Structure 1
Amino acid sequence: MSKKRRSYEIHGNTSSTSTPSRPRRSKLPRQDDLQQRPSSILQEIPQAVEDRLPSPIPKPEGFNEIKEEDFDDDFFDDEDFDTSLFETTINKISTQLTSSFVDPWITPPSSQDPEEVDKREFPLLPVQMNQFMKIKGLKNLYKWQEDCLRMKKVIKSANLIFSLPTSAGKSLVAEVHLLRHLLEGKNGILVLPFVSIVQEKVASLSAIASETGQKFVVEEYAAGNGRIPPIKRRQTPALFIATIEKASQIINCAINGEGPWISCCVVDELHMIGEGIRGARLEATLAKIMFATKQGKGSCQIIGMSATLPNLQDLVEFTRAELFTSDFRPIPLTQYLKLSHFVYRVEDDGKQLMTKFDRQIKPQDQKIDPDGLLPLVLEVIPKHSVLIFCSSRRNCQSVMKLLASQLKMEMVPDDLANKREMLINDLVQELESVGGVDPDFLNSLRFGIAFHHAGLSGPERATIEDGFRDGTLCVLCCTSTLAAGVNLPARRVIIRALTQGRSLLPISTYRQMAGRAGRAGYDTMGEAFIIAPPKDRKRCLELVGGVMNPAESKLDILVYEVILSVLELKLALTKSELLDFFTKYTLVTLTHLQELSVIVARD
């Protein structure tokens, strides 16, 4: 009885087998042909394996190339062809390729060992840090960023508060710490003050999630978005990007077990803890998660970014955090006062702020433009961009119309005119189903001018912000909400009023506005102008060089709500435990503490 053999027909990078009824020599390839094939086979097999691997694939290190001479003359012998050896060789090549592939976004359990964490120089592993910098389009860290990221206690999950001027690059440090927790399979939350900033961060951090191969998911919790309680995922960690109000709900769900535990909580604009009811809610949220951590419900690293405050040490004690401060600003900022028709440069002689005459600017039409806005704008556009901060939404639209009415189409370069027409067409198509776009708005867009405030729809906001970033639009008339973090570049910032709504402009808000000028990566310098009548010169200098108000606890506004929440979450079951919560885990002055003690003892 003849012995059956399997024959192989090799076509490209595939191989198929058949079992004929009897061996037929004609089905086998000729020996001299096969001896010409190994090199091509070896070229095709790695490509086939590569097609099944995740992308991008790093170049294999230590891969020993198998050469044609490794196959002896008998390997493809017609009579003694060893199919098992052939299959073993293919499997060897495949295994060697796949074993050489290392996913840089996977943090191995060994790297999470406390002894290994002690040896780390950065929160992320070196390969992860390199990949992160590549995604961000950066080659080097600022010196302060490197020093801050190297803080050993923070790498070991100690809390951190760092305070620097606007545009210094604080967000990068916070994102690195968040990414570390996410890549270790833990959940994180980023708390932001406004809906618009939440939406911007969702877009930018979703891009990082995509680059990591979806090692984590990004969820938006702002306005009507976000599921309460959040979904508990078994394998994929989540990054929740939330407003202060939504963050409070997420943390409550983490404490009572309805939602996933949060291992890292990053708070932007931490100094807002001293601002009314929103500050009280933020303080209560941080206090509850710290109190829950003390009770053993889980560990949570708190990282806060803050402006320079006179009582920054109080926030450090409240959060039990390490402190990092610096006055670094990557782009120099020059500040000016425009009092009537005269422009003065603000200078610091080391003892006090002084004003030095710079130039005189007269408006083209005193009746239409009494503030002389147009000359200030024309000094910069269209090569660079301008942000004009106004006191109200209505003011934004009025200033937009005022500027557009004084410009002529002959002043607009042809290439910009074409780009703006394309932007207008996109905007009209997007909003056609909801009533269209205001004609005055469309006319202003042709001159590169738009307004930006909370009254814009989602498509309008996205189109305008993208157009401003790529230079199609060069002037934005906006409210103070844009100053709080939406990353829009501007060479010059013009602050048209010393009021915000019905109140005086706070120093913290002015610094955020001025900080929008000269953003790193976009400009080599920044300019901030305050327009005011001559009688307000002293007030202007207070804005430029004044000290911000201390961030004091406002928890007394929500004291009853917080008591009920702590009891409902079973963080405290007795009066002594409740007093322990308020006296050791909240930011309160001695006066507030005495009042709260009376309330707790009474109720």
Structure 2
Amino acid sequence: MKDIRDLLMPKGAERQVKEIHRLLRPPSSPSHEDLFECTRAKSISNLSTFAVGDKYAPIFKFSHFNKMQTSAFPMLFQDPDNCVVTSPTGSGKTALFELAIVRALKENSKAKILYLAPLKALCSERISDWSHRFGRLNISVGLLTGDSSLGEIQRARTCNIIISTPEKWESFTRQYKDREKFLLSFGLLLLDEIHTIKEDRGANLEAVVTRMKSLYRNIRIIALSATVPNIEDISKWLSKPDKPTATTLKFNDSYRSVKLTKTVLGFNKKSTTNEFQFGAFLTSKLLTVIQNYGNKKPVLVFCATRKSTITTAKALSAKLGSYFPQKPPITGRLQPHLLELINNGVAYHHGGLSSEERQVIETGFLSGKINVICCTSTLAAGVNLPAYLVVIKGTKTWINGSLQEYSDLEVLQMIGRAGRPQFENEGACVIMTQSAEKAKYEKLIHGTEEVESSLPSKLSEILLKEVASGQISDSQSAIKWMKATFFYQRYLVSPFSYTNVVKQIMYKKPSQCLELFLQKEMKELWDGGLITIEQGRFVCSCYGNTMLRNCLSLDTMKYLLTLKNIRQDKCLDVLSRAPEFGNVEYRSSEKALFRKINQSQLIRNKVEGELEDAWQKVHLFVQFELGGLDYPSHPSFKNLLFNFNYDKANVLRRMSNVINAGITIFEEKADTTSLKSMLYLGRCLSAKAWENTALELTQIDGFDKAGAKKFEASNICSIKEAVKLSKESFEQLGINHSGKIYGQLRLFPQIHLKGEFIRNAPASSLLNISIIITPPAIHISNHHHSQVAILINDKSTNELIKFMKIPLHQINDHMEINLEMNAQMSERIVIQANFIDKVGSGTEISLCCLESIEDSDFSDDEYVKLMLDERAKRKCEEQTQTEAKRRHETSLGMIEEEMFTDIEPENSSKSSITRELSSENIFRR
């Protein structure tokens, strides 16, 4: 019976495909090695793109597939099996994804396709490219973020192709457990750069792919990879449930459209030489490298830091001389020293340049007027500037405050810029590194370094996410999940690659060792209070959900849980030291800048001593924002501005997450002091202004920092003081648009509280709180997302009585809250109400329970008797609560002991990770 898809092909293409399929599919099912030999041995003419059908042929930018794409065509376009392809960078792998997409759409025009890539730059490239090419055929392409709104989810629901990173997609599939309500079932999963599962971020990729395999059992998976020797392990991991392995296609460098000469040069580094001196030494060798390998054609030199790009460009400009032919001069509004370099045929390129400067450099390089660009590694991921020669000058870059090795993906992307298929059929790349690292990079570029799993390093956090998503609910599902990971697959093959994670035990099988490791990691989450047990199932605790909701690391969560009684003046100091900011980069070139910032009069809490640590940079970033500082105007700081703004935005976003987590933690722990401090810093951060300063007024539309300074000079330091002024006073102070500001100031929301105790019973009172918002909430901007925080505490003991966050749209203009409370005669309570995202609107009142009782008709004797009865009743209640707590702790201890008992030896008749619990085997194999 003829396949309906064949009817869509032109006759010539149909015969060509059948012939190719016959050549590549011998009668006996080939192994991956046999298949590779077939593709290498047979001489096959390149296949026309019309082989996919007239409708879809225009998707491709070319008329014929290249040799690699033609060889892979039958497996990608005709067979339904999962497929793993390993091929060199620059061989045209992206077209293989497009073949799989076309097949899926021809089978079902409403097919849902998910593309995952490890870097945002790759996702942006796919969005830009595919939206244009597929869009012409009304095939929609969309991006889905992890914190997606319902509107974005609905838009994604209508898209054929969804593009995301593993982190973003993991967040979505965890938050929306009823996924069918939002998205139709996926038929195709595309995994780009799958070999990056060995990188630090690879744990998230491995976990999300494992989850997708569980959620969509019939999904087809296409994975593309750079050349790696153990690709078969990845194929076994990504196989369909009824097959032992996915189809595996391996292509060597002969399939690259541009022949690439790859060289690693190792240089001895003296023990007395630091990394910067070694970098300068490599710069001195660059001219020789360019002369030996560059063939007088365009060159990209990748450097470790922005400063290094400039010093390297200057050094080359002085040495290259007449090596390259002279070109007509370039003019433009550029920095004089940069313009001078450019007209010598050399330029530098990094994120700190203006858009005009980058455009001039990129255009000049593509047109041939610039011969050499010295750049940072970010150019490899985001800008398409191919060169004949790529030189990686040193294999370390500045990460987390120190020079660290580039990731393998970064190196491969930089190498991928070598060769210009539109101009020539060859290219070259040279890696300059220390002699001790030479063998490592030779393995990488020749594809002889095996891929290992990075999951063990992040297993605790990954397990917590799987508990939250519902993938892990007991011991059996935990073990099932583990067996579906690449880590499990790889550990069984090479257990001694993971000796630092899993200690071998003589009488236990590798699978049992992994179960012990799983048990240890789950117990760590249990001990930390991040998971608990409800009705015999693992679930995330309040702390666990808080950690995931705010995207915090496990170390940060542990740090926050150790904190208590944080005073308001120490809150920023404590939070700046959180592990969440451990990877904030504090460059030596920035120290003078932050010393200058620390000396500003607008810095409320100056950092004492030398500014040497990253936490001090975090501290000053927050104060810079809340104090309304202007960036120092000294010329020496100009080149640091881009990096400063980028780092500041990153720190402020993370600080907001840490504060939000802290609010939940300290509410749960009933730590009133810390909770108040967190709420205070959180609303200041949201408003971008310290509370009770004139900067409060910058929340008013059109009111700037200059106006705030004028108010401060007149000792007006809050919105509540400013609103008392007359319209004439605004004009006298010289406020721009004073009439408009005067009117808007009266529309700025204020909270009004009224409270009273109503005697409810001899032992209790009813606290009535009346909240009034002026103007009505509907007239307040962002009222759909704003909240009012109500905090009630005992004034004498500081005990937290009640904490509530009420959405503003629920209050509108008035709300009454009634709370049942114990009537302790001397109790005085404080009620605070503040917007969580505004300063200058809050209020506070104080009440005493005694006021309600004084109005009663009780005699003195009755009053004393009531007090004694109340005391006896409270004592009885306390004893009952203590006994209940003791029983609860005993019960939890028994559960913990039984859930996390070591598994028995292999020869035991009953091997399990834990024993029976409440007639259910919570952790039974």
Amino acid corresponding to residue 528 of structure 1 in structure 2: C
Hey, what does 1:270 align to over in structure 2? Answer: 194
Paired position in structure 2 for 1:199: 124
**Taking structure 1 as reference, are residues 444 and 156 closer, same or farther at Cα in structure 2, changes over 3 Å only?**
same
Q: Is the 8 A contact 1:332 1:526 kept in 2?
A: yes
The DSSP-based 3-state class of the residue aligned with 1:371 is: helix
Residue in 1 that maps onto 2:211 = 288
- How big is the shift at 1:147? 2.5
For 1:507 and 1:453, the matched residues in 2 are separated by 21
> Structure 1 length as normaliser, TM-score?
0.61
1:389 pairs with 291, 302, 308, which one?
302
1:316 to 215, 235, 242: 235
Structure 2 counterpart of 1:567, from 454, 467, 473: 467
2:70 to 136, 146, 153: 146
Of 168, 175, 179, which residue of structure 1 is paired with 2:98? 175
Counterparts of 1:462 and 1:567 in 2: how far apart (Å)?
48
Whole-angstrom CA distance in 2 between matches of 1:273 and 1:560 = 17
**Tell me, what secondary structure is at the counterpart of 1:493?**
strand
Structure 1 residue 453 displacement after superposition: 4.2
Quick one: which of 441, 445, 451 aligns to 1:551? Answer: 451
Distance 1:497 1:570, change over 3 A: closer
Q: Which amino acid aligns with 2:153?
A: I
Alpha-carbon distance in 2 for matches of 1:537, 1:558: 26
Equivalent residue number for residue 576 of structure 1:
476
Q: How many angstroms does 1:541 deviate by? A: 7.7
C-alpha separation between the residues in 1 aligned to 2:469 and 2:461? 12
| 1:543-594 residue CA offsets vs partner (Å, 9 max, x unmatched) | 5776654322222333333333333333344332232122234532245454
Q: Is structure 2 residue 84 aligned with structure 1 residue 165? A: no
CA distance 1:484–1:309, change in 2 (3 Å): farther
**Aligned pair partner of 1:215 in 139, 143, 153:** 139
Give 1:539 deviation, angstroms.
Answer: 4.7
Residue type at the aligned position of 1:495: I
Preserved CA contact (<8 Å) 2:199 2:407: no
Give the deviation of 1:256 after TM superposition. 3.4
Q: Distance in 2 between matches of 1:211 and 1:260?
A: 23
Distance 1:185 1:134 in 2: 19
1:159 and 1:507, CA in 2 relative to 1: closer, same or farther beyond 3 A?
Answer: same
Amino acid at match of 2:85: F
Q: How many residues align?
A: 438
Cα offset, 1:218, TM superposition: 3.6
Partner SS for 1:489: coil
Change (3 A) 1:406 1:133: farther
Q: How does 1:173-572 map to 2 (within 5 A)?
A: 173-181=96-104, 184-212=109-137, 214-219=138-143, 230-233=152-155, 236-252=158-174, 256-257=178-179, 259-261=182-184, 262-276=186-200, 278-294=201-217, 299-320=218-239, 321-327=246-252, 328-336=255-263, 371-374=284-287, 377=290, 384-404=297-317, 417=329, 420-421=330-331, 424=332, 438-447=335-344, 449-455=346-352, 465=362, 468-469=365-366, 471=368, 473-483=370-380, 487-501=384-398, 502-504=403-405, 510-531=411-432, 539=439, 542=442, 548-572=448-472
> Which stretch has the larger CA shift, 593-602 or 375-384?
375-384
- Which has the higher relative contact order, 1 or 2, with Cα contacts under 8 A spaced 6 or more apart? 1
Equivalent position amino acid for 2:466 in 1: V
Q: State the shift of 1:163 in Å.
A: 0.3
Q: 2:216 is paired with a residue of what secondary structure?
A: helix
Write the distance in 1 (CA, Å) between the matches of 2:90 and 2:426: 12
**Letter of the 1:205 counterpart:** W
Question: C-alpha offsets along residues 468-520 of structure 1, whole Å, 9 cap, x if unaligned?
Answer: 44545443322334445854311111122143443345666545433432143
Mark the CA change 1:322 to 1:546 in structure 2 (over 3 Å): closer, same or farther.
closer
SS in 2 for 1:141: coil
Question: Does the CA-based 8 Å contact 1:186-1:237 persist in structure 2?
Answer: no
Partner secondary structure for residue 587 of structure 1: helix
Partner residue, 1:95? none
Cα pair distance change 1:186/1:249, threshold 3 Å: farther
Report if the CA contact (8 A) 2:293-2:428 is conserved.
no
Equivalent AA in structure 2 for residue 371 of structure 1: S
**2:807 matched residue in structure 1:** none
TM-superposition CA deviations, 1:281-309 (whole Å, max 9, x none): 11111011101113xxxx43222111222
Contact kept in structure 2, 1:400 and 1:450, CA below 8 Å: yes
Return the alpha-carbon distance in structure 2 between the equivalents of residues 397 and 382 of structure 1: 24
The amino acid that maps onto 1:329 is R
The CA deviation at 1:134 is 4.6
User: Unmatched 5+ residue regions in structure 1?
Assistant: 1-108, 114-118, 341-366, 429-436
Distance 1:303 1:333 in 2: 26
Matches within 5 A, 1:49-198: 126=50, 134=58, 136-151=60-75, 155-181=78-104, 184-198=109-123
C-alpha contact 1:159 1:301 (8 A) present in aligned 2 = yes
Say whether the 8 Å CA contact 1:189–1:241 is kept in structure 2: yes
Identity of aligned residues (%): 24
| C-alpha distance in 2 between matches for 1:386 and 1:138 | 27
**How far does the alpha carbon of each residue in 1:165-208 deviate from its partner, in whole angstroms, 9 at most, with x for none?**
11111111112223444562223232223233332332222221
C-alpha distance 482-205 of structure 1, shift in aligned 2 (>3 A): same
Letter in structure 1 aligned against 2:302: F
Deviations 1:245-296 (A, max 9, x none): 22323444675326424432222211111112x11111111011101113xx
In the TM superposition, residue 149 of structure 1 has moved relative to its aligned partner by 2.2
Given the superposition, is the C-alpha separation of residues 476 and 227 from structure 1 closer, same or farther in structure 2, using an over 3 Å criterion?
farther
Aligned ranges for residues 12-31 of structure 1 at < 5 Å? none
Partner Cα separation in structure 1 for residue 150 and residue 233 of structure 2: 33
Given that 2:157 and 2:182 are in contact with CA atoms closer than 8 Å, whether structure 1 keeps it comes out as no
TM-score, structure 2 length as denominator? 0.41
Change in Cα spacing, 1:191 to 1:540, as seen in structure 2 (3 Å) is closer
Question: Secondary structure in 2 aligned to 1:567?
Answer: helix
Residue identity in the other structure for 2:251: S
SS at match of 1:232: helix
**Contact 2:118/2:205 (8 A) holds in 1:** no
Question: For 1:459 and 1:199, how far apart are their aligned partners in 2?
Answer: 21
- 1:82 maps to which residue? none
TM-aligned CA distance change 1:283 to 1:580, over 3 Å: same
CA distance in 2 between counterparts of 1:247 and 1:462 reads 33
Cα deviation, residue 389, structure 1: 1.5
Secondary structure of the residue aligned to 2:453 is coil
